[in-house]
Chain A
Amino acid sequence: MKRVTIDPITRLEGHGKIEIFLNEEGEVANAYLQIPELRGFEQFCVGRPAEEMPRITNRICGVCPEAHHMAGTKALDALFHVEPTSVAKKIREVLYSAFYVTDHTVHFYALGGPDFVLGPDAPPAERNILGVVHKVGLEIGSQVIECRMRNHHVIQMLGGRGIHPVAGLPGGWSKAVSEEERQEIEEIARKNVEFGLFSLQLFNDVVLSNQDYVDLIVSDGYTHRIYSMGTVDENNHVNFYDGMIRVVDPEGAEFAKYHPSEYPNHIAERVEPYSYLKFPYLKNVGWKGFEDGMESGIYSATPLSRLNAADGMATPKAQEAYEKLYETLGSEKVNGNYTPVHHQLATHWARLVELLYSAERMLELITDPEITDPNVRAPITETPDEGVGSVEAPRGTLTHHYWTDENGILTKVNLVVGTTNNNAPISLSIKKAAKAVIKKGEEINNGMLNMIEMAFRSYDPCMSCATHSLPGQMPLVVTIHDAEGNVVERVSRHVD
């Protein structure tokens, strides 16, 4: 069996690699993802006071510290059996919305978007944000940076620090919002709504008006029918900060709806001999291998699956954008709700719908008269024991689970991070895309490799919340091994 390795994955954590196994005929037999393992996290945490967790866990990862901070803070609420004050929840969600706007912006403009704006076959050196600026105009670069900076400013104002927020406390938040700050954030939220609409318009003009791209999105190589997971509010609308976890089957029928603390009853983890990665799946469906369909317990937790798992968006403009996505991609309405879309590349579009929702939600919360209420923290009176906190991280449902002794000293810790949910569907997507592009007897070229990476990139995965060390040489390497493991061919290219 031949083995093709894509290492590392372009534009995402430089430490992951894709391995593709070819059979004797040169056709794709299997494909999976390899990422480095980070070890010792639980040992690092055990013995420390639980209150440190929102500040420790936001150090796990330089990509979504805000998500870890929020899940950690919510786990502390549960651990200390304290209900945060109403205004504290709203302040948390304002910060979280600002974070979503910046996070989804960078993915679309710097990571996922270039494939569409410049084309999947564009040379890797051009397929980045510089290429986007070159093609669409300098103005777009300024807009992206301005959007990011004004929202980082909000995170700093509310969270106490710009990059790794520190304001989350069990039962609330460490500081109230002044009227002056409120006005400033309202102005920023209004700009975010404009930016969200602008980004969707750009997607419409660049991607949807190009039939080749639409064909690519709906092509079989990027389509698989799996279960969808997401957090929903009391109306089954998408929410990132709080709610129930809802899972719908490939046809769109509700399969499960549960409180985040019940995750062990619904999610099991599969271990494969070739990887230390765990592959979560739906316990009550069962593991049927890397296959899609109703009988396979594989689920995804992505922007697209969040939309699939909900009945709609909680804000008006995002709802309009949501409807357009489902109408355009051939979804049908059953009992008043759209059936799921299973075209993986449509995740980029879903991400922009979420961007607009975050902006609208931020505006809604910051214009709520209660937001400047100084009552930002509820007192703690109970003895801590065990607590689960969950949010939707941009890359999927993020769950923190802590156990402590009666003094609040950690005895056990479990985290299910966003990307982990998607380990199985990512492997499924890579395999399917690889099968579609690698043909018997054809030489494997850069364009083909990028088509495979696009399947992976749509998940916006954060590789094991991994390391940040400065790399030296970082080419994309494809190594083909023969059945004995000898290298028979090596293709490498510089990537950005």
Chain B
Amino acid sequence: MRTLVIGLGNPILTDDGVGVKVAYAVQDALASSKRNDVTVTEASVGGLRLMEMMMGYDRVILIDALLHDAMPGTVQRMTLEDLRTISPTQHSTCAHDTNLVTALNMGQQIGLPLPKEITIYAVGVENVTYFGDEPTPAVAKAIPEVTAAVLAELNHKK
């Protein structure tokens, strides 16, 4: 099974970069193991571009910042189905693009090779309006927890 782990967010916008930090941590943890089935990357894109990145993988794990109604540092594991339920209006990460759910629907309709399984780890954040390359303390504390959860998920199914 080919898995893609994507840390989403802007790495120089304080808490917004938490997903990217987790991706780096996952990459470091995997460095010693020979996991040819796992690709780890980071991006600050959404919608069509995010969907296009997923092509050719069986499973995708996204890590992103969650701004609304979430305590800073709390972690939620969601499926794509949850994303649809939370809001039919999911913008995911980007402007100037369509939302991820719409992009995936379109990709499926035109027969693109898209993953069967998409899992999202959403980390509650507070500061996404100030430039800085380190997250706030509460959010930074969540990084090991999310990293461990992603690694467990990767080890659970290979």
Contacts and interface: CB of A to CB of B under 8 A. Distances in A.
Interface of A: 11-14, 36-41, 43-44, 56, 59-60, 62-64, 103, 106-107, 110-111, 125, 128-130, 133, 138, 141-142, 144-145, 148-149, 152, 163-164, 460, 462-463, 466-475, 494-496
Contact of B48 (A36, A44, A62, A110): A110
| 7 residue pairs, one from A and one from B, having the closest CB atoms | A472-B68, A13-B95, A62-B44, A44-B131, A469-B67, A467-B128, A469-B65
Nearest to A493: B89
Contact of A44 (B12, B45, B89): B12
Given A468-B9, A496-B99, A38 B130 contact: yes
B93 A40 contact: no
Given A110-B98, A467-B129, A468-B94, 16 more contacts: A12-B96, A59-B44, A110-B48, A129-B106, A141-B109, A145-B52, A145-B106, A145-B110, A467-B16, A468-B16, A468-B93, A470-B93, A472-B68, A474-B87, A474-B91, A494-B88
A38 B98 contact: no
21 contacts: A11-B98, A13-B95, A39-B130, A56-B12, A59-B10, A63-B94, A63-B96, A106-B96, A106-B97, A106-B98, A111-B98, A130-B102, A133-B109, A467-B128, A468-B64, A469-B64, A469-B66, A470-B120, A472-B67, A472-B68, A473-B87
A59 B45 CA distance: 11
Given A43-B131, A495-B89, A163 B96 contact: no
Contacts, number: 171
B10 A62 contact: yes
A235 to B, nearest CB: 31
Contacts of B45: 62, 163
Contacts of B64: 468-470
B48 A496 contact: no
B89 A494 contact: yes
B59 to A, nearest CB: 19
B11 interface: yes
A354 to B, nearest CB: 15
Residue picked from B47, B91, B102, B107, most chain A C-beta under 10 Å: B91
Contact of A472 (B11, B52, B70, B93): B70
B42 to A, nearest CB: 9
Residue picked from A43, A125, A473, most chain B C-beta under 10 Å: A473
A130 B87 contact: no
A106 B66 contact: no
Contacts of A63: 94-97
A468 B98 contact: no
Interface of B: 8-13, 15-16, 43-49, 52, 64-70, 86-99, 102-103, 105-107, 109-110, 112, 120, 122, 125, 128-133
A52 B137 CA distance: 26
A380 to B, nearest CB: 26
A35 to B, nearest CB: 11
B52 A148 contact: yes
B131 A38 contact: yes
A462 B91 contact: no
Contact of B91 (A111, A130, A471): A471
Nearest to B10: A468
Contact of A128 (B9, B11, B102): B102
A133 B8 CA distance: 28
Given A145-B112, A148-B52, A469 B96 contact: no
B93 A62 contact: yes
Nearest to A467: B128
Contacts of B131: 38-41, 43-44
Nearest to B96: A63
A462 B97 CA distance: 11
Given A470-B65, A472-B86, A129 B52 contact: no
B102 A129 contact: yes
Given A59-B11, A148-B52, A470-B65, A111 B129 contact: no
A63 B107 CA distance: 20
A163 B90 contact: no
Nearest to A38: B129
A460 B12 contact: no
Contacts of A56: 12
B15 to A, nearest CB: 8
B96 A107 contact: yes
B89 to A, nearest CB: 4
Contacts of A11: 98
A125 B131 CA distance: 34
A495 B88 CA distance: 8
A125 B128 CA distance: 28
B96 A14 contact: no
A471 B102 contact: no
Given A106-B96, A469-B125, A130 B48 contact: no
A116 to B, nearest CB: 16
Contacts of B122: 470
A130 B10 contact: no
A281 B47 CA distance: 34
Contact of B132 (A44, A62, A128, A496): A44
B96 A111 contact: yes
A410 to B, nearest CB: 13
Given A141-B110, A468-B44, A462 B95 contact: yes
